[in-house]
Amino acid sequence: MQSRWLSLLLLAGLAQPALAQAAPRGAAKAAPQHALPRANIVKNVNEVNVIFSAIDKRHRIVLGLKPSQVEVLDDNKPQAITRFYSEGDMPLRIALLLDTSTSISQRWPFEEAAAIEFIESVLRQGTDKAMVVAFDSSIQVVQGFTSNEEKIARAIHSLRPGGGTALYDAIYETCRQKLMHDGHNVRNVIVLITDGDDDQSRYAATEALRMAQRAGVIMYTIGTDPTDSDPRDDQLLEMFAKDTGGRYFFPFQAPDLGKAFASISYELRHQYVVAYDPDDFVPNGAFHRIKIKILLPNIYARTQPGYYAMPPASAPGPSTGAGRRRR
């Protein structure tokens, strides 16, 4: 493994045939604790790559930035940019997490159609890959990583809603087992469709968030509860997105799902990457805050809040246990 050119979004590869259910961890759920440092990069090498989107005051994507228009701060210290380019050429690894619990039964036809349309619009054959993870009371990989859109569509069509909701476990185990990798320069993305309710997880929301951050995942969350019956659920979906550098959507009607997916697809195709070698880097597990400044009026960067400078030995090991849902 080369120590000087590795994406910041790297850890030990942990792919397994299917996701195991999360091991018991005591308390089942917890509200988001923002005392937890917000980051979604684990850095094991000297070079840091930061993915960001440039946004104007009307929340529109800004194209055509130049390196001279960007400043990088690592723990408030200015950094010399070593490379800067459009992120559209970096391969995507998209995990589509679909809530198939009983509570989404009435909205499932819209979710199913919108998810398939999204995959067909975003994947580039031979470059990008996607997988489908369904969760209700348990978690199942119904289609592993592939560029074959027909396989993904068949996997989504095969799903039938029913059961409880293990949302946090689905995030945790997908990140741990499927989105950690060992040297491939890719973008890890989770697109999550759920009503936000969780009544089955063994991991807490904060544990799921931390694992997503350690895996270098950008999360896009789409809330599908039209009743707004539990504001806490919406707050959790917002937390997962904001604290990983992604976006959150709350469509008012089921047909609006397509618009949310279109926005995600467009953003993924128009991101940037900036690379730098942080001064005095020490792999001691400390949290480094990142700030990307756009040196143009009324434009800001949406990105990961920071990274953990972890030594390689601290990477999580393979998940143990068994259990998958069968249909």
DSSP character string of 291-313:
EEEESSTTEEEEE--EEEE--GG
The model's pLDDT over 43-98, given as tens digits with 9 standing for 90+, comes to 445 788 888 999 999 989 999 999 999 999 999 999 999 989 876 678 899 999 99
How many CB atoms sit inside 10 A of residue 23's CB? 13
Of 54-63, 94-103, 313-322, the poorest mean pLDDT is in: 313-322
Query: Terminus-to-terminus CA distance in the chain, angstroms?
Result: 41
pLDDT of 327 above 70? no
Spatial CA neighbour of 215 closest among 171, 176, 184: 176
Mean pLDDT of 20-25: 40
- Which domains are seen in the chain, by residue range? 41-87+273-314 (no CATH), 89-268 (3.40.50.410)
What letter does residue 174 receive in the DSSP assignment? H
Residues 90 and 268: beta-carbon distance below 8 Å: no
pLDDT > 60? residue 143: yes
Using left for φ > 0, alpha for ψ between -120 and 50, and beta otherwise, residue 269 falls in: alpha
% of the chain residues with pLDDT over 70: 77
For 178-208, what is each residue's pLDDT tens digit? 998 644 578 899 999 998 889 999 999 999 9
Please state the rounded mean pLDDT for residues 212-219. Answer: 89
Q: What tokens were used for 272?
A: 């940037």
What pLDDT was estimated at residue 79?
95
The whole-model pTM stands at 0.78
Which residues are 190's β-sheet partners? 95, 219
HSE (side-chain half, CA atoms, 13 Å) at 306: 17
Q: What is the pLDDT of residues 160-184, one digit of tens each?
A: 999 999 999 999 999 999 998 644 5
The answer to whether the CB of 260 falls within 8 A of the CB of 221 is no
CA atoms within 13 A on the CB side of 217: 32
